[in-house]
Structure 1
Amino acid sequence: MIPGPARQFLVQRAQRVRKTAVRLARPLTEALVTGAPDPARPRSRRLTPRVPRALGLLPFRTIDLVLLGDLALTLILFGGGLSYLQTQAAAAGSLLDQEGLMFAALTFSLPLALRGRWPLAAWRSAVLLIPLGLVVSRQLLGGIPYTGSVPIMYTLVVYAVAVRCERHITVGVWIVSVLGAWMIHPDSTAFVTGMVTASVLFGYNVRARRLAAGLLAQEERRSERALAAQAALEERARIARELHDVVAHHMSVIAIQAEAVPLQASGDARRLEDGLREIRALSLSAMNEMRRVLGVLREGDGHIDTAPQPGLGRLEELVDTARSAGLDVTLKLIGDLAGLPTAVSLSAYRITQESLSNAMRHAPGSTVSLKIARYGAELHVQVTNSAGHRSSGTPGEAGHMGHGLIGMRERVSVLGGKLWVGPTGTGFAVTAILPIIEDA
C-alpha cells in the first residue's frame, strides 16, 4: 500500500505531467491536423492590376502578382533542382529514370505554389513530400541529402505560416521543423534551426504589425462613428431648440388670442371674425416653420434645406405678433443691424422670441421693453417685462426653468457670449451679449 501523502504527491505529479503533455500536444496537433490560417488580407491595387482589354476573354479580371511570383519561383526551383539531379545522376551513372528525378524535383518545389492561399496546407505538404523526395535524392547526393531549392522553398512556406497563423500553431511548426531536420540529417540541424527560427520571427513580426495596424484602423473607424453620432446628437438638439422656439412662441400667441378674442368681440361678429382670421394666420405661420424644421428630419437623401432662417430682419413681425397677443412692447434698435452674421442674427431673434413667449405665458398684458444694440464687435439683446395683469409666479421664471433657458444658454455658448436671466423688481429680465464673428 502506498501511504496517503505519497499517493497524493504522485497524483499531483501525474496531473502536472498530463497538463504539460496537453500544452505540448496542442501546438503540434493544430500545426499538423486541426489548425487553420487567418483569412488572407486583401491585396493592394498595385499587386492586383486589372487584366488588359486585349486579354478580356480570360476567366479572371485581375492578376495576382504575388501568386504569379510564387508560381514563377516554383518553376525556377523545379527546373534548377531537376537539372542538378540529372547532372548528379549522370555523374554517378545512376539507373534512376527521368520520372523519378522529376518527382524528386517536384516534391522540393511544389509546396511553394500553395503558400499564398493555403499556407498551412503548403507546409503540411512540404512535411510529407520532402521525405518522399529524399528517397530519390539520397542515392545521388553525398553529404546533405537535398538540393539547394529545399531551404528556399521551406523558408518561404514557414514565413507564410508565421504571417497567417496564430502563435501556438507557429510554435508547433517550428518544433516539427527542428525535429524533422534532426531526424533527416543531424549535421545540418543547427543550420535548419537558425533558418527556420529567423523565418518564424520575421513572419511573426510582420503579423504583429499587421494586427496592430488593423486594430488602429478599427479604432479610427470607431472614433469616426462616435464623432458622427455626436454630430447627429448636436443636430437633433439644434432641431429641438428650433421646434421649442417655434411651438412655444406661436402656441402662446394662439392660446392668448383664442382667450382674448371672444372678450374683445363682445358679441360683434365682425371683430370675432377678424380675431379668428388672425389666429388662423398665426397657426399657418407656425405650421410652415414646423414643416421647415421637420423637413430636415424627413429628408434622408442628403438634401439640405435652403430656406432662409429667421433673423432680426423679421423683428417687426415678431413684435407685432406680441402686441396682438396683448403685450405692450417698446422696441429700441441701436447701431447697424443689417450686416450681422446669420448665426448671430438667428440667435438674437430666437432669444427675443423666447423672452416674448415667456412674457405672454407668465405675464400677460405686461409692458415689455426690447432693446437691441450693436456696440463694436458685440450685439446686446435686453428684454425686460413687468409683472402683467395676472402673473403666474415670478414673471417669466417658469418658462426659463425648462427648455427655454437651456436653448438660450446653448445658443449664447455656441457663439462664446454671455447670458443673464433673472427677476428684476416685479418683473423679469433677459440680457444676452453675443460676439459678432464674421464667419459665424
Structure 2
Amino acid sequence: MAVGVFVLVALGSLRSLIGERSEGWGVTALGWALIGVSCGALYFRRRWPVAVGGFVWAASGAYYLVSTYDGPLMAAFAVALYTVAAEGRLRAAVALAALAVIGTGLGTLAGNHTVNGVALFMLTGWLVGTVALGWARHTRLAHAREAERRAATEERLRIARELHDVVGHHLSLINVQAAAALRRTQKRSGSGEEALAAIKESSREALRELRATLGVLRQVDEAAPTAPPAGLDRLDDLVAGARRAGLEVETYRSGVPWPLPTELDLAAYRILQESLTNVARHARATTVTVRVEHAPDHLALEVADDGRAAPGPYGSGIVGMRERARALGGELAAGPGPGGGFAVRARLPLPLPRTAADGAS
C-alpha cells in the first residue's frame, strides 16, 4: 500500500520536476521528502494507526504549505484516515478529518485561492465518506469475529454434550454394576462374575464411543473414525446395558420405522441413552418403560420408570437433552409421572412428512 500510494502521488507530482519552474530546487526537494515520509509512514499504519494518521496529516499539511505544486498527497492522508477508522478508532478518525477540514479552511481564508468554498465542501464530504467506509469495514469484521466466537462456543457445547452423554452413560452403568458386584461379594451370595462381565462390556463400549466422539477434534489430515454414528438401530444395546445394571426394561415401538436423518437419529439415541442413565443413577427404580413412536411427521420418545422422582431443578443431562430437541425444532419434557416415578417425553419433528408411498419406495 505504501509503495502504491507513493507511485500514485509521484506520478501526479512530476510537473514539479519537468517543465517551467515556479519554485526553487531546495523547496522542491523538501516537498519530495515530505511525499516520501508521508507515503513511507503508511507501512506502519496497521501497527500504530492513530500515530501514523497524525503524522501523515502533519506532513501533508507541511507539504501543501511549502510547495507551490499541489500534488495528490491527500491520497496518503485518505489511506491513513481510512485505516484509523477501520481499526476501530472512530473518535480519532473524526478528529483527524476535522483537523484536515479546519486546516484547509484556514489556508483558504489566508489567501489560498486554489481552494474555494465548493472545494472545501467536497473535501469535507470526501473525508466523511472515507471515515464511514473505514468504520463500516471495522463493524463488518467485528460481526464476523463475533459469529466465529459464537460458532466456536456452540461447537464446544456440542462436544461437551456428546461427551457427557456417551461417557456419563457407560461410566454410570459401570458404577452401578461395580456396586452390585461388591455387594454380592460382601454377602457371599454369588461370585459377581455376571456383574464383572457387564462392567467389562460397558467399559469397552465407553472407550469405543469416546474414540468416535473425539474424532470430531481430529485434524483434517488425520484419519476419520470409521465407526457408524449411533442411532435407534442400537436401541437393543442400550436396553441390554440397562438390564445388566439390574433394571427390568420393557420396550414398545409403534408406527413405521422411517429412515431418519442422521442428526435426528443420533439425537433420539442420545435422549434415550441419557434417560436410561438417569434412571440407573438416581431413580432407584426396578422397571423402566421405553416407547418409540414413528409418526408420519414426527418421532416421539418416552422413558418412564417406577422409581423415586427427584425434585427439580434437574442436572445438566436433562438440559442437554432439551438442547438437542430444540436444535431440531422439537421439544422435551421431563418430570414426575402421573402415577409416580419419573418420565422423559420428547417429540422430534421430521424434516418432511412421510407417506405410505415413501415406505413403498
Counterpart residue type for residue 201 of structure 2: A
2:9 aligned with 1:75 = no
Residue by residue, what CA displacement relative to the aligned partner does 1:342-377 show, whole Å, maximum 9, x if unpaired?
A: 121111111111221122123345111111110101
Q: 1:236 aligns with which of 140, 156, 160?
A: 156
For 2:318 and 2:25, locate their aligned partners in 1 and report how far apart those are by CA, in whole Å. 85
* Structure 2 match to 1:325: 245
Give the % identical residues. 33
For 1:368 and 1:77, locate their aligned partners in 2 and report how far apart those are by CA, in whole Å. 93
**SS at 2:59 equivalent:** helix
* Structure 1 match to 2:261: 341
For 1:242 and 1:162, locate their aligned partners in 2 and report how far apart those are by CA, in whole Å. 52
The Cα shift of 1:317 comes to 0.5
* Structure 2 match to 1:427: 341
- 1:99-118 counterparts in 2 under 5 A? 104=24, 111=31, 115=35, 117=39
The Cα shift of 1:78 comes to 4.9
Where in structure 2 are there 5+ consecutive unaligned residues? 40-55, 82-95, 354-361
2:320 aligned with 1:407 = yes
* Structure 1 match to 2:350: 436
Counterpart residue type for residue 429 of structure 1: A
Whether the aligned pair in 1 keeps the contact of 2:285 and 2:305 (CA below 8 Å) is no
For 1:432 and 1:301, locate their aligned partners in 2 and report how far apart those are by CA, in whole Å. 35
**SS at 1:329 equivalent:** strand
Where in structure 1 are there 5+ consecutive unaligned residues? 1-41, 44-62, 83-100, 130-149, 182-191, 388-393
Counterpart residue type for residue 349 of structure 1: Y
Whether the aligned pair in 2 keeps the contact of 1:331 and 1:371 (CA below 8 Å) is yes
Distance 1:196 1:77, change over 3 A: farther
Distance 1:321 1:121, change over 3 A: closer
* Structure 1 match to 2:273: 353
Counterpart residue type for residue 350 of structure 1: R
Whether the aligned pair in 1 keeps the contact of 2:292 and 2:301 (CA below 8 Å) is yes
For 1:121 and 1:316, locate their aligned partners in 2 and report how far apart those are by CA, in whole Å. 79
* Structure 1 match to 2:70: 154
2:65 aligned with 1:127 = yes
Distance 1:304 1:216, change over 3 A: farther
The Cα shift of 1:305 comes to 5.3
The Cα shift of 1:261 comes to 2.4
Q: 1:288 aligns with which of 195, 208, 212?
A: 208
Distance 1:170 1:275, change over 3 A: same
**SS at 1:154 equivalent:** coil
Residue by residue, what CA displacement relative to the aligned partner does 1:175-228 show, whole Å, maximum 9, x if unpaired?
A: 24532x3xxxxxxxxxx4462544443333222212111111111111111111
The Cα shift of 1:324 comes to 0.8
Structure number with larger C-alpha Rg: 1
Residue by residue, what CA displacement relative to the aligned partner does 1:75-103 show, whole Å, maximum 9, x if unpaired?
A: 34654434xxxxxxxxxxxxxxxxxx8x5
Distance 1:401 1:161, change over 3 A: closer
For 2:72 and 2:24, locate their aligned partners in 1 and report how far apart those are by CA, in whole Å. 19
For 2:12 and 2:71, locate their aligned partners in 1 and report how far apart those are by CA, in whole Å. 13
Greater mean alpha carbon deviation, residues 214-223 or residues 254-263: 254-263
Counterpart residue type for residue 431 of structure 1: R
2:334 aligned with 1:417 = no
**SS at 1:331 equivalent:** strand
Whether the aligned pair in 2 keeps the contact of 1:111 and 1:157 (CA below 8 Å) is no
The Cα shift of 1:323 comes to 0.7
Counterpart residue type for residue 240 of structure 2: D
* Structure 2 match to 1:175: 106
The Cα shift of 1:173 comes to 4.3
2:179 aligned with 1:259 = yes
For 1:177 and 1:275, locate their aligned partners in 2 and report how far apart those are by CA, in whole Å. 95
Distance 1:77 1:170, change over 3 A: same
Distance 1:160 1:218, change over 3 A: closer
**SS at 1:81 equivalent:** coil
Counterpart residue type for residue 317 of structure 2: G
How many residue pairs were aligned?
317
For 1:308 and 1:351, locate their aligned partners in 2 and report how far apart those are by CA, in whole Å. 18
Q: 1:314 aligns with which of 229, 234, 252?
A: 234
For 2:304 and 2:158, locate their aligned partners in 1 and report how far apart those are by CA, in whole Å. 26
For 1:400 and 1:286, locate their aligned partners in 2 and report how far apart those are by CA, in whole Å. 28
The Cα shift of 1:314 comes to 0.9
For 1:417 and 1:215, locate their aligned partners in 2 and report how far apart those are by CA, in whole Å. 41
Give the TM-score normalised by structure 1: 0.61
**SS at 2:106 equivalent:** helix
Whether the aligned pair in 2 keeps the contact of 1:162 and 1:200 (CA below 8 Å) is no
Counterpart residue type for residue 327 of structure 2: V
For 1:411 and 1:324, locate their aligned partners in 2 and report how far apart those are by CA, in whole Å. 27
Give the TM-score normalised by structure 2: 0.73
Counterpart residue type for residue 299 of structure 2: L
Counterpart residue type for residue 102 of structure 2: V
**SS at 2:346 equivalent:** strand
Whether the aligned pair in 2 keeps the contact of 1:159 and 1:200 (CA below 8 Å) is no
For 2:305 and 2:122, locate their aligned partners in 1 and report how far apart those are by CA, in whole Å. 78
For 1:259 and 1:126, locate their aligned partners in 2 and report how far apart those are by CA, in whole Å. 88
Distance 1:433 1:107, change over 3 A: same
Whether the aligned pair in 1 keeps the contact of 2:302 and 2:344 (CA below 8 Å) is yes
Residue by residue, what CA displacement relative to the aligned partner does 1:312-343 show, whole Å, maximum 9, x if unpaired?
A: 11111000000111111111222333611112
**SS at 2:257 equivalent:** coil
- 1:129-278 counterparts in 2 under 5 A? 150=68, 153-154=69-70, 156=72, 165-179=96-110, 181=111, 192-193=112-113, 195-264=115-184, 267=188, 271-278=191-198
